[in-house]
Amino acid sequence: MVTKGDMFYTWAADADVLKKGECGGAITALQQYALKSGMVDAVLAVKKGADLYDAVPTVITDPAEIAETAGSLHCGTLLLSKLVKDYLDNNKTAKLGVTVKGCDTMGLIELAKRNAVDMDRLLLLGVNCGGSVSPVLARKMIADKFEVDPDLVHKEEIDKGQFIIEYEGGHKGIKIDDLEDEGYGRRSNCRRCLYKVPRQADLACGNWGVIGDKAGNATFVEVCSDKGANLLDAAAKAGAVATEAANPKGIEIRGKVEGAMLNLGNKWRRKDFEALASDLWGTIARETGRCIKCYSCIENCPVCFPVADELKGNSRMVTSGEVPPNPMFHLRRFAHISDSCINCGQCEELCPMDIPLALFSHAVRTEGDTTFEPKLGKAPYTN
Ligand code: FAD
């Protein structure tokens, strides 16, 4: 019997899924089982599009298609919470299984706090996430630092502190710290993230802590809810996945890696926020002065997007048609999201003028988060 808090090494029973999966295909096999058994009506997962810089979210209702989503894509621009809300709104009673990173989970929880999504209709298979890389920067980094044509790369991974590529003719790895010192590497919001193991999902899955002969061939699964326990229990009993208790040494190593990643996140927070501190308002005013008012920050924010259309019209504070807009345009947005900005980075990533909006919002909100409850992206209820 599986219960909340248990930790397992898990892998797919099916040989094809085991091979296609990033670390033994446990997630793919669990999604397949959840769909086949009727626990969910559809699965939202991510598959490779035109190339490995193109991560395409896909809703699947045929279990045979789920294997196409196996594998981890670290270079896609993704936040799935918006797509989840759209799916639930358009399929009124359906249940959805979703593979989520920490930021996806936080986005969903913030929407749930606003009664905009019903968490009971979701089965969340969380992946640990040390951070992702923007597709544009990934291509540039591979060309400049690895001196490889990005179109020749057929596999990328982040392992033991290195960004590693496999390409026609070889493979190369460079330490992420070295890449980041030179302005490459993970998105800046990911560097500051302190939510590496998504324990608010139903299962938290990753490669940290998988040691011995299972390393690379199994996923470390932490059971975070009764829903997650039921899924893993039923899938194992049905023969869809195999499990064994996680190695105690592996559990210890996983804890240490998580701790080191949190320290690194705090280091980036200090560095980024201290650089802003001397002239926060001046920097915000200067940077937002380049705004072309395309509304991308509003449309892609997991908090603002449900009301994006209302925010586009005239208001007492902002007159439409002004470019750059009156500073109140951005101040009003910061105020709206101040108790919900989860530092997902979508506003910044998708800003055509490269305004560091997530940094401003995160710097201000982090101060508040030391005091306010519930913490950002954390549910006031238990999963
Ligand atoms: P698979 O069966 O291969 O399934 C992988 C699932 O991930 C699929 O459902 C797929 O659709 C989904 N997916 C792929 N890319 C994305 C994406 N960009 N966003 C959302 N879903 C996606 N584990 C760690 O322990 N430490 C880490 O630092 C770490 N960083 C990660 C960063 C990213 C961006 C991702 C996607 C995963 C990361 N993982 C990390 C998790 C690890 O890579 C494996 O996904 C996990 O061990 C499950 O392996 P599996 O073989 O069971 O998954």
Cα angle vertex 70, ends 299, 68, to 5°?
85
340 contact partners, CB below 8 Å, separation of at least 6: 110, 113, 303, 376
CA 330–ligand 1 middle distance (angstroms): 34
- Give residue 373's pLDDT: 77
Exposed / middle / buried, residue 304 (Cβ in 10 Å: 0-12, 13-18, 19+): buried
- Phi and psi dihedrals of 127, rounded to 5? -110, 135
pLDDT bucket at 116, cuts 50 / 70 / 90: very high
Residue 286 structure tokens: 């200067």
Q: Cα(286) to centroid of ligand 1, in Å?
A: 38
- Which pLDDT tens digit goes with each residue over 352-382? 999 999 999 999 888 777 777 777 777 765 5
Structure tokens at 343: 């530092």
Any atom of ligand 1 within 6 Å of the Cβ of 325 = no
Please indicate whether residue 229 or residue 322 has the higher confidence score (pLDDT).
229
Residue 169 pLDDT exceeds 90 = no
Nearest CA to ligand 1 atom 46: 206
Residue 111 pLDDT level (bands cut at 50, 70, 90): very high
Mutate to test the pocket of ligand 1, among 35, 51, 72 (most ligand atoms within 8 A of CB): 72
- Look at residue 316 in the predicted model and tell me its pLDDT: 72
Q: What percent of the chain has pLDDT over 70?
A: 98
The mean pLDDT value for 312-339 works out to 82
Q: Whose CA is nearest to atom 35 of ligand 1?
A: 72
pTM: 0.94
Query: Are the CB atoms for 44 and 87 separated by under 8 Å?
Result: yes
Which tokens in the block code for residue 77?
Answer: 């621009």
Ligand 1 pocket check for 240: Cβ under 6 Å: no
Beta carbon of 222 within 6 Å of any ligand 1 atom: no
**Listed range (45-49, 56-60, 314-318) with the worst mean pLDDT:** 314-318
Distance from Cα 277 to the centre of ligand 1, integer Å: 35
Q: How far is CA 236 from CA 10, 26, 31, 265, in A?
A: 9, 11, 13, 36
For residue 13, what pLDDT band results from cuts at 50, 70 and 90? very high
Task: Place 39 in a pLDDT band, splitting at 50, 70 and 90.
Answer: very high
pLDDT band, very low/low/confident/very high, at 78 (cuts 50, 70, 90): confident
Can you give the pLDDT at residue 260?
A: 95
Percent of the chain with pLDDT over 90: 81
Residue identified by tokens 């259309």 is 309
Per-residue pLDDT at 382: 58
Cα 6 to chain center, whole Å? 23
CA distances from 47 to 14, 55, 224, 382 (A): 19, 6, 25, 31
Task: Return the residue matching tokens 């699947």.
Answer: 60
The finding on whether 190 has its CB within 6 A of some atom of ligand 1 is no
pLDDT score for 383: 56
Per-residue model confidence (pLDDT) at position 239: 98
Q: Does the pLDDT of residue 46 top 90, yes or no?
A: yes
Cβ(74) to ligand 1 under 6 A? yes
Cα 170 to Cα 153: distance, rounded to the nearest angstrom: 9
**3.10.450.750, 3.40.50.460, 3.40.50.300, 3.30.200.20: CATH of 135-185:** 3.10.450.750
* Tokens coding 149: 């044509």
Could you give the C-alpha distances from 143 to 51, 136, 137, 151, in angstroms and in order? 15, 11, 10, 10
Q: Say if ligand 1 is within 6 A of residue 358 CB.
A: no
Whether 314 has a pLDDT exceeding 80, the answer reads no
For the chain, what is the mean pLDDT?
93
Amino acid (one-letter) located at 381: Y
Q: Is the pLDDT of residue 288 over 60?
A: yes
The 8-class DSSP code of residue 355 comes to -
pLDDT digits (tens, 9 = 90+) for 200-215: 999 999 999 999 999 9
Helix (H, G, I), strand (E, B) or coil at 300: coil
Nearest CA to ligand 1 atom 49: 23
Question: Would you say 149 and 139 are in contact if contact means Cβ atoms under 8 Å apart?
Answer: no
Phi, psi angles (nearest 5°) of residue 45: -140, -175
15: tokens are 């040989």
Mean pLDDT, range 263-280, rounded to an integer: 93
Q: How far is the CA of 70 from the centre of ligand 1 (A)?
A: 9
Q: How far, in whole angstroms, is CA 175 from its chain's centroid? A: 21
What pairs with residue 56 in β-bridges? 47
Beta strands 96-100 and 122-127, pairing class: parallel
Q: Tell which residue, 367, 346, 377, 383, has the closest CA to residue 134.
A: 346
- For the four alpha carbons of 198, 45, 36 and 218, in that order, the dihedral sign comes to negative
How far, in Å, from the CA of 128 to the mean position of ligand 1? 7
Between residues 127 and 160, the one the model is more confident about: 127
208 lines ligand 1 (CB under 6 A): yes
Nearest atom of ligand 1 to the alpha carbon of 17: 2
- Establish whether the linkage from the previous residue to 324 is cis, with ω within 30° of 0: yes
Those residues whose C-beta lies under 8 Å from the C-beta of residue 197, and which sit 6 or more positions away, are: 102, 126, 128, 204, 206, 222, 258
ipTM: 0.99
The total number of residues shown for the chain amounts to 383
For ligand 1, atom 31, which residue shows the shortest CA distance? 129
Q: Which residue has the higher pLDDT, 314 or 335?
A: 335
Element (H, E) at 173: strand 170-175
Q: State which ligand 1 atom lies nearest to the alpha carbon of 10.
A: 52
Q: Which ligand 1 atom is at minimum distance from the Cα of 104?
A: 20
Instruction: Report the pLDDT value the prediction gives residue 205, as an integer from 0 to 100.
Output: 98
